[in-house]
């Protein structure tokens, strides 16, 4: 359905209940989320660069405890990176499908990531993060910021409206 001299789709499902194509802001947000997934997967390797710091921070530790600590750190890096990548992908698919909860959940996850990023960037934790980890963390945060801002643009907001609200807002 179009209005006025300029043709543009009306947000919400069409006459057969089919959702119109995603607006450009939403498509860009989804691409950024897929990029965030790739960054999260690559983050496993960035985090592995910190293993030497663990050894230096625990110099009086027995070799067995040090090896156990390293193995635990490796497992955390791999599992954390893969879970983070899976969450990015799940959120991208859910937002692309127009799920209203996904935009809210993504915003909440971004808020949690903001706290984490401040913690890592300011090195509040007991292990001083390397420069590579700090830069990587800020880059992932910037991807989250970009995706969140794109999801809340006016064009994207119309895509997330429920069918009943979109039908009421259609010009007659």
Task: Write down the pLDDT at residue 166.
Answer: 44
Q: What distance in Å separates the CA atoms of residue 40 and residue 81, rounded to the nearest whole number? A: 5
Q: What distance in Å separates the CA atoms of residue 98 and residue 21, rounded to the nearest whole number? A: 10
Q: What is the DSSP letter of 16?
A: T
Q: What distance in Å separates the CA atoms of residue 59 and residue 128, rounded to the nearest whole number? A: 15
Give ∠ CA 6-12-18 in degrees, rounded to 5: 105
Task: Write down the pLDDT at residue 33.
Answer: 97
Task: Write down the pLDDT at residue 158.
Answer: 80
Task: Write down the pLDDT at residue 128.
Answer: 62
- Sequence-ordered alpha helix ranges (H) in 7-130: 24-48, 51-57, 63-96, 100-122
Task: Write down the pLDDT at residue 171.
Answer: 52
pTM of the complete model: 0.75
Q: Which of 162, 160, 116, 109 is nearest to 137 (CA)?
A: 116
End-to-end CA, the chain: 10
Per-residue pLDDT of the chain (172 residues; tens, 9 = 90+): 444 444 444 445 555 556 678 889 999 999 999 999 999 999 998 888 877 777 776 667 777 877 887 888 888 889 999 999 999 999 999 999 989 899 999 999 999 999 989 988 877 655 566 788 888 999 999 999 999 999 999 888 888 866 544 444 455 4
């Amino acid at each position: 359905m179009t209005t006025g001299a300029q043709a543009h789709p009306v947000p919400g499902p069409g006459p057969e209940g089919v959702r119109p194509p995603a607006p450009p802001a939403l498509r860009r947000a989804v691409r950024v989320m897929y990029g965030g997934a790739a960054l999260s997967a690559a983050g496993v390797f960035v985090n592995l660069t910190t293993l030497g710091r663990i050894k230096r921070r625990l110099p009086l530790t027995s070799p067995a405890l040090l090896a156990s600590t390293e193995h635990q750190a490796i497992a955390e890096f791999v599992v954390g990176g893969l879970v983070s990548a899976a969450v990015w992908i799940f959120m991208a698919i859910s937002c692309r499908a127009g799920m209203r909860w996904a935009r809210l959940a993504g915003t909440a996850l971004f808020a949690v990531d903001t706290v984490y990023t401040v913690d890592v960037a300011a090195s509040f934790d007991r292990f001083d993060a390397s420069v590579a980890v700090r830069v990587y963390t800020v880059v992932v945060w910037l991807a989250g910021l970009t995706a969140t801002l794109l999801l809340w643009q006016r064009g994207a907001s119309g895509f997330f409206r429920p069918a009943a609200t979109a039908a009421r807002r259609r010009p007659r």
